[in-house]
């Protein structure tokens, strides 16, 4: 099967012929399809490798291609894409943010005339998680999806070849992904989160997508369409537990894996009971049709139920490789705001490695992790998924700072990422700050540092999320931390930070709170020179620690998800400013 065939089949057409072949050839057909997928994935990886060798040329060609295809859009006409060259583009077109597009996007959302924005139809308006700021609707097109899918396949290939020796005969993944039903814009264009929208669409439209899911994953396809995240995790776990041969676990974020494992910890008795008798517990929030479909996959399995019960009764430390002896890796994003959850996750994964394979946003795919063993995990920028520029960190406060091209980054320096995409964003500031830690051929390798939105910045001190997490990790042992967020306290003089923290033993820590918050302040002074200076002159007061009771952050998450965002894409805001969220946490303080 040729390089793009599998990807194109999924993104553009169904293929009942392949489904028929699979049905006829059974196990052999599956092995052949898995091998074909691996070949397609390897070709995609080779393509990325080749691109990194000529990153400068690939970037130039990509930008020229964008000029060509978008020349008749509103932005293309306004900025003369038909005549423009790269240097002119960089000097004449300003850096942008979402606000520069929101009116035009609204017009397309309401009226449907996509050609004002992009040259090909918009397949999805992706909702960014929005929990960290205002909801943004980012257009997605087929060309965009295809390149992202190719990068995604390359990541899977790296994982399988590195951790599982490319075992094609019996790969089985437990994919912790759930989707929310697609909504539609007034003009009838689907809208939803990136992961959610793409997957639910493929499963509903294409028989092949269902076949692929059945072959690759332990959960039957209907599980991926369960909107209620708790029930979805439960069903993924149920089918995963039934399959002793699971070789990998995957999810978008470490937070998703952690949540699933905690669901297991809470519900293991009920899960083993369901496995024993071959049923789906009545308490699950499933519609009748889904329940009936899933029930057909189940039958009593007393042997597995007994085996699992023995593991669970012994405790949950290092439980995953016990349940699944062939488990070779867990693939999920562990960097940035996911670090706190990956630290907690290691308690359950034991010796099984965590692989943070990709760095991607709704706006563009940015990088793939080609060095799975490297710590901290880092990403090689993929030169063909967007045209990249970088704003040096010291200039990120400027409105129109000069930028550096992809191949010209300096190792050791940090930058904000700027993308020009195939789907209508030009010189768009992503708000992510990364550090260049080396090069892979001509493409930089970057570590994710922080999101600008979450910077604590009362008086220019700019304390980033990674620094706050370092303060917490310095003060508490990693497995104690559950979650945190911060806000500013303006009602006191001097102003200060308030950190809301949930730990596994907040009650125990409560009586040492004064001491602990002093210690945290000392560590923060050590990690941030500017904060130390402001503290030394008493222009910022000592940070205040507020311990919240168990379950507060999962309740907060549930509340934020009510806005309609996908659980798979959720990121806890690290700086809260709205009074509703603040009051919500204030009401959960330990007495």
What residue ranges bind ligand AMP (CB under 6 A)?
Answer: 128-129, 194, 333, 335-336, 356, 359-362, 430, 432, 448, 451, 569
Residue 45: CB minimum distance to ligand AMP, A: 18
- Residue nearest to ligand AMP as judged by C-beta position: 336
Toward ligand AMP, which CB reaches closer, 79 or 429? Answer: 429
Toward ligand AMP, which CB reaches closer, 191 or 281? Answer: 191
Residue 448: CB minimum distance to ligand AMP, A: 4
Please state, in angstroms and rounded to a whole number, the distance separating the CA atoms of residues 241 and 255: 20
Toward ligand AMP, which CB reaches closer, 267 or 451? Answer: 451
Angle at 582 between CA 576 and CA 583, to 5 degrees: 165
Q: Residue 176: which of 570, 577, 590, 579 has the closest Cα? A: 570
Hey, which residues does 307 pair with through a beta bridge? none
Residue 561: CB minimum distance to ligand AMP, A: 13
Toward ligand AMP, which CB reaches closer, 367 or 383? Answer: 367
- Look up residue 428 and give its DSSP letter: E
Residue 367: CB minimum distance to ligand AMP, A: 8
Run of H or E including 520: helix 513-527
Hey, which residues does 524 pair with through a beta bridge? none
Run of H or E including 417: strand 414-420
Residue 165: CB minimum distance to ligand AMP, A: 25
Residue 415: CB minimum distance to ligand AMP, A: 14
Q: Find out whether 153 and 40 touch, Cβ atoms under 8 Å.
A: yes
Q: Is the peptide bond before 376 cis (omega within 30 degrees of 0)?
A: yes
Residue 292: CB minimum distance to ligand AMP, A: 34
Residue 394: CB minimum distance to ligand AMP, A: 20
Q: Residue 76: which of 112, 97, 104, 106 has the closest Cα? A: 104
Strands 387-392 and 404-405: antiparallel
Toward ligand AMP, which CB reaches closer, 128 or 403? Answer: 128
Four-CA torsion 280, 286, 288, 293, nearest 10 degrees = -60
Q: Residue 454: which of 428, 497, 486 has the closest Cα? A: 486
Toward ligand AMP, which CB reaches closer, 38 or 131? Answer: 131
Toward ligand AMP, which CB reaches closer, 300 or 376? Answer: 376
Please state, in angstroms and rounded to a whole number, the distance separating the CA atoms of residues 349 and 322: 9
Toward ligand AMP, which CB reaches closer, 234 or 329? Answer: 329
CB within 8 Å of 305: residues ≥ 6 apart: 272, 273, 275, 276
Q: Find out whether 485 and 574 touch, Cβ atoms under 8 Å.
A: yes
Residue 51: CB minimum distance to ligand AMP, A: 19
Please state, in angstroms and rounded to a whole number, the distance separating the CA atoms of residues 576 and 361: 22
C-alpha dihedral sign at 395, 401, 406, 409: negative
Q: Residue 151: which of 388, 2, 367 has the closest Cα? A: 367
Toward ligand AMP, which CB reaches closer, 415 or 448? Answer: 448
What's CA 179's distance to the chain center, in Å?
14
In angstroms, the Cα distances linking 366 to 300, 357, 359, 515, 528 are 45, 11, 6, 42, 29
Please state, in angstroms and rounded to a whole number, the distance separating the CA atoms of residues 561 and 567: 7
Residue 411: CB minimum distance to ligand AMP, A: 19
Toward ligand AMP, which CB reaches closer, 38 or 334? Answer: 334
Helix (H, G, I), strand (E, B) or coil at 328: coil
Residue 311: CB minimum distance to ligand AMP, A: 31
Residue 417: CB minimum distance to ligand AMP, A: 8
Toward ligand AMP, which CB reaches closer, 260 or 433? Answer: 433
Helix (H, G, I), strand (E, B) or coil at 138: strand
Toward ligand AMP, which CB reaches closer, 129 or 180? Answer: 129
Please state, in angstroms and rounded to a whole number, the distance separating the CA atoms of residues 90 and 418: 12
Sheet strands side by side (includes 404-405):
358-360, 365-368, 379-381, 443-451, 428-440, 414-420, 387-392, 404-405
Residue 365: CB minimum distance to ligand AMP, A: 10
CB within 8 Å of 527: residues ≥ 6 apart: 467, 470, 471
Toward ligand AMP, which CB reaches closer, 153 or 569? Answer: 569
């Amino acid at each position: 099967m040729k390089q793009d065939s599998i990807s194109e089949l999924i993104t553009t057409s169904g293929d009942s012929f392949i489904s028929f072949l699979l049905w006829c050839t059974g196990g052999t057909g599956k092995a052949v399809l898995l091998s074909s997928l691996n070949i397609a994935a390897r070709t995609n990886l080779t393509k990325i490798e080749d691109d990194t060798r000529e990153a400068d040329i690939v970037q130039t060609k990509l930008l020229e291609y964008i000029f060509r295809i978008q020349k008749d859009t509103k932005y293309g006409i306004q900025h003369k894409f038909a005549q423009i060259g790269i240097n002119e583009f960089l000097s004449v077109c300003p850096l942008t943010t979402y606000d520069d597009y929101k009116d035009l996007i609204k017009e397309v959302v309401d009226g449907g005339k996509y050609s004002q924005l992009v040259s090909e139809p918009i397949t999805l308006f992706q909702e960014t998680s929005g929990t960290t700021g205002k909801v943004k609707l980012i257009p997605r097109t087929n060309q965009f999806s295809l390149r992202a899918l190719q990068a995604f396949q390359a990541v899977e290939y790296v994982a399988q070849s590195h951790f599982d020796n490319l075992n094609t005969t019996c790969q089985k993944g437990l994919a912790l992904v759930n989707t929310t039903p697609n909504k539609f814009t007034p003009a009838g264009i689907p809208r939803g989160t990136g992961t959610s929208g793409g997957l639910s669409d493929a499963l509903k439209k294409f028989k092949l997508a269902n076949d692929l899911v059945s072959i690759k994953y332990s959960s039957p396809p209907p599980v991926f369409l369960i909107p209620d995240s708790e029930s979805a995790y439960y069903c993924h776990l149920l089918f995963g537990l039934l399959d002793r041969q699971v070789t990998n676990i995957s999810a978008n974020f470490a937070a998703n894996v952690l949540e699933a494992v905690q669901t297991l910890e809470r519900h293991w008795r009920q899960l083993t009971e369901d496995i024993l008798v071959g049923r789906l517990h009545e308490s699950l929030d499933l519609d009748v049709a889904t329940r009936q479909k899933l029930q057909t996959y189940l039958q009593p399995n007393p042997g597995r139920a007994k085996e699992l019960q023995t593991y669970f009764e012994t405790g949950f430390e290092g439980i995953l490789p016990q349940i699944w002896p062939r488990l070779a890796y867990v693939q999920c994003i562990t960097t940035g705001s996911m670090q706190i959850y990956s630290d907690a996750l290691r308690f359950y994964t034991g010796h099984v490695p965590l692989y943070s394979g990709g760095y991607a946003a709704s706006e563009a795919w940015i990088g793939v992790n080609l060095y799975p063993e490297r710590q901290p995990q880092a990403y090689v920028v993929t030169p063909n998924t967007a045209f990249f520029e970088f704003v040096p960190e010291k200039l990120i406060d400027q409105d129109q700072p000069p930028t550096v091209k992809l191949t010209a980054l300096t190792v050791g320096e940090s930058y904000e990422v700027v993308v020009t995409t195939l789907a209508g964003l030009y010189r768009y500031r992503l708000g992510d700050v990364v550090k260049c830690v080396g090069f892979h051929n001509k493409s930089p390798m970057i570590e994710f540092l922080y999101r600008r939105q979450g910077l604590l910045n009362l008086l220019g001190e700019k304390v980033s999320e990674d620094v706050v997490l370092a303060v917490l990790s310095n003060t508490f042992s990693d497995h104690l931390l559950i979650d945190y967020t911060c806000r500013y306290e303006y009602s006191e003089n001097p102003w200060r930070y308030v950190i809301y923290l949930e730990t596994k033993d907040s009650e125990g820590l409560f009586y040492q709170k004064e001491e602990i918050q002093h210690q945290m302040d000392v560590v923060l002074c050590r990690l941030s020179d500017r904060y130390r200076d402001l503290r030394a002159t008493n222009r910022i007061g000592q940070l205040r620690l507020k311990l919240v009771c168990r379950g507060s952050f999962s309740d907060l998450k549930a509340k934020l998800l009510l806005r309609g965002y996908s659980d798979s894409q959720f990121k806890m805001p690290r700086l809260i400013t709205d009074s509703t969220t603040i009051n919500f946490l204030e009401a959960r303080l330990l007495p």
